[in-house]
Amino acid sequence: MADTTVKISTDTRDRLQALATARGTSIRGLVEQLAAEAETQQALGRATDAFRTAVKRPGFADGFDRDFGVPAPHTSRAA
């Protein structure tokens, strides 16, 4: 993979260096980690949106309970 140069302020470079040092990595390693973390957050956001859409469908909760063995709620009767 080819390298590239990104122009950032010296303040930002210094902040990235401090973060990288705290994580025991280089700025390059930190940027790679941050990119991976951002991609994970995007994927989690899409999954959350899909889940919220799915649970609005009629019968979703009943099907989930049935498929995953969640016991049906029961009511107690007073004698």
| Position 73 in a domain | no
Q: Is 56 contained in some domain? A: yes
Q: pTM for this one?
A: 0.67
Q: Is 21 within 8 Å of 13 (Cβ atoms)?
A: no
Better-scored residue on pLDDT, 74 or 4: 4
Residue numbers of the domain that contains 59: 10-66
**Count of domains forming the chain:** 1
Distance CA 47, CA 29 (A): 27
Is residue 16 situated within a structural domain? Answer: yes
Contacts of 70 (CB under 8 A, 6+ apart): 64
pLDDT digits (tens, 9 = 90+) for 31-54: 999 999 999 999 999 999 999 999
Q: What is the mean pLDDT of residues 58-79?
A: 77
